[in-house]
Amino acid sequence: MELIQTDAYTWEIPQTGDMNVPARIYASAGIMEAVKKEETFRQLINVASLPGIVGRAMAMPDIHWGYGFPIGGVAAFDMDSGVISPGGVGYDINCGVRLAALNLEEKEIRPHLEDLVVALQKHIPSGVGSTGTVKLSLKDLKKVIKQGIPWALSQGYGRDTDTGRTEEGGCMKNADPGDVSDRAMDRGKNQLGTLGSGNHFMEIGVVDTIYDPAAARVFGLAEKQVTLLIHTGSRGLGHQICDDFLALMTKKVHKSGIALPDRQLACMPVQSAEGQAYYRAMACAANFAWANRQILLHMAETVLMHTLGISPRDLGMRMVYDVCHNIAKTETHVIDKEKRKVCVHRKGATRAFGPGHAGLDPAFQDTGQPILIPGDMGTASYVLAGTQKAMEETFGSTCHGAGRVMSRKAAKKAAKGRSLQQEMEKKGVFVRAAGRGTMAEEMPEAYKDVTEVVNVVHGSGISKKVAKLRPIAVIKG
C-alpha cells in the first residue's frame, strides 16, 4: 500500500486497483505509528472502491477498525450513481454528544462531587439493556422517532431554545416509522431516557482553557465554568435498525450488480427502494437519540438541583450544542467548483460546518458550528468550531473523539488487579460505572491522546480549537 505524506497532517493513498477515488488520512506522525495500518487502511481503500464515491475516502485522526467502514471515516456518495450503507453509519445510529454549561464554578461543586456521582448513577438508568425513564406506547414511540426533540419539548423536557443548538434542530424530517421493524420498536419502547453502556457516559467537567475567546463567548463558555457532557445514542432501537438493514442489503446487494470488496460493506444505491427505506429508518433512530439526550439532560438538571439544593436559576443550565457522530445525510457541497447534492456518511466523525453555512442557527454564523469532542474519562474533552476549510476538504466533517488504541479485551487484560476507580479519584475524577468490565474497557490508556487528535484537526484547519474541558465526575454505562 502506497502512503504519501502530503503535509504535516495529511497522508494520501493514491487511486489504484478497484479504487474509484484516492484516500486521505488526517494524522500526525505519532498517530500514524499508533494506527494498525494494514487492517484499518484496507477498510478505507474498500470504501474508496464503492460505486459513486465522490472526492476522497477520508479518515480522521481518531481512525480505528470498525464494521466494514473504519470508525473515524467520512465518505460522500453521488445521489444518482452512489450508495448508502448501514456500515458507513455504524450500529449506534446518531451516537452523539451534548454539552450544557452551568452557572457554577468548580469550587462550588467540588465538595459535593461524590454525592453528585452517586445521585446521578441512582437516577440515570445506565448499563446494557437499561430501561426505565420513559415508558412509551407504540403510538407515542412513533411520535418520538418522527419528531425527535420537538416531541421531548412537548412533554416538558428542556427548553425551546434547545433546538437551534442541536444539529438539524434535533429532527431529521424524512423519518418514517413505517420503515422501522416491530422488533426495533419493541427494543426502543422502554429505553428512552437511558444512557446505555460501553463508552457512553455523563460527565461533569470544568472549562480548563479557552483558546478562542470570541467563539467561546458565542458558545456560552467561560473559564472555570462547570459543564455537563452527555454521550449516548439510539440504544437498542438504532442497533436493531442497523441489523435489519444490514441483513436486507446483504441479501439484495448482489442483484443490484454491486461487487463488494468486503461483505460488511453491504449497501444499496441511494435512490433504491432499500436505500431510501434505510435512510428513513435511520432518521427515526437519529430522532430517538436526540430525544434521548434531551431527556437525559433534563434528568441531570433535576438531579443536580436536588443534590446541590439550588434553584434552576442558580444552576443556570443552558445548552451549548448537540452533535451526532454516526449518521448519513443528504447535503449540498461544492465539488470541483460545482454545487452537488451528495449522501455524506460520517461514522465516528462529526459535522464541522463553517461560518456562514445556511444550515446553522443565526447565533453561529460568524463562528462556525460548535463541535464536541469527548476524550477518555480521565483526560479532557474539547470544544471546537467548524471551518471553511472543512467545507472545502472534508464535506464539512472532523474527528469525533480520542479513538481506541487497545481493544476492549486487551484493555481488560491490562487492567487486571488494578482499582481504576481509585486511580481516577487520585487524579481528582470521581467515576462510577454500571457494568463490571466497563471501567477497564474505558480506562484512559485504552485511548489515543485526545489532545494529539485535536491538534491534528486544528493544525490541518478542518476545525478550530475553542475550549478544553477537564472531567471531575463521570458516570459510565
Partner DNA sequence: ATGTGC
Q: Which stretch binds DNA (CB under 7 A): 126-134, 262-270, 273-281, 296-304?
A: 126-134
Q: Which stretch binds DNA (CB under 7 A): 44-52, 108-116, 123-131, 259-267?
A: 123-131
- Ligand-binding annotation for 254, yes or no, is no
- Ligand-binding annotation for 357, yes or no, is no
Q: Which of 398, 346, 391 is nearest to 372 (CA)?
A: 398
Which residues in the 240-299 window bind DNA by CB under 7 A? 240
Report the half-sphere exposure of 467 (CA within 13 A, side-chain side).
Answer: 29
Q: Are 99 and 228 in contact (CB under 8 A)?
A: yes
Long-range contacts of 358-367 (CB under 8 A, 24+ apart): 359/331, 361/164, 361/165, 362/164, 363/164, 363/165, 363/218, 364/218, 366/218, 367/214, 367/215, 367/218, 367/219
Q: Are 272 and 310 in contact (CB under 8 A)?
A: no
Q: Which stretch binds DNA (CB under 7 A): 181-189, 274-282, 353-361, 459-467?
A: 181-189
Residue 72 CA, distance from chain mean position: 10
- Ligand-binding annotation for 402, yes or no, is yes
Q: Which of 385, 476, 468 is nearest to 434 (CA)?
A: 476
Indicate if the alpha-carbon torsion angle 347, 352, 356, 359 is positive or negative.
Answer: positive
- Ligand-binding annotation for 401, yes or no, is yes
Q: Contact letters (x/-) for DNA, 427-456, by CB under 7 A?
A: --------x------x--------------
Interface residue with DNA among 177, 233, 375, 403 (CB under 7 A) is: 233
- Ligand-binding annotation for 59, yes or no, is no
- Ligand-binding annotation for 400, yes or no, is yes
Total of chain residues touching DNA, rule CB under 7 A: 24
Q: How far is the CB of 392 from DNA (least distance, A)?
A: 30
Smaller CB separation from DNA, 101 or 184: 184
Smaller CB separation from DNA, 316 or 437: 437
What are the residues whose beta carbons fall under 8 Å from the beta carbon of 68, sequence distance 6 or more? 43, 46, 85, 87, 88, 262, 264, 265, 266
Q: Does 364 bind DNA (CB under 7 A)?
A: no
Q: Is 400 a catalytic residue?
A: yes
Which residues in the 89-118 window bind DNA by CB under 7 A? 91-92, 95
Q: Which of 54, 41, 35, 3 is nearest to 345 (CA)?
A: 54
Other beta carbons less than 10 A from residue 281's beta carbon: 28
Q: Are 399 and 31 in contact (CB under 8 A)?
A: no
Smaller CB separation from DNA, 150 or 233: 233
Interface residue with DNA among 68, 236, 269, 403 (CB under 7 A) is: 236
Q: Which is the catalytic residue, given 298, 333, 400, 458?
A: 400
Alpha helices, DSSP H, located in 173-315: 182-188, 213-219, 235-252, 273-308, 312-315
- Ligand-binding annotation for 377, yes or no, is yes
Binding-site residue positions for Mn(2+):
92, 200, 231, 325
Residues that bind DNA (CB under 7 A): 91-92, 95, 127-129, 183, 186-187, 191, 196-200, 232-233, 235-236, 239-240, 435, 442, 477
Binding-site residue positions:
92, 199-203, 231, 325-326, 374-377, 381, 400-403, 476
Where in the sequence numbering do the catalytic residues fall? 400
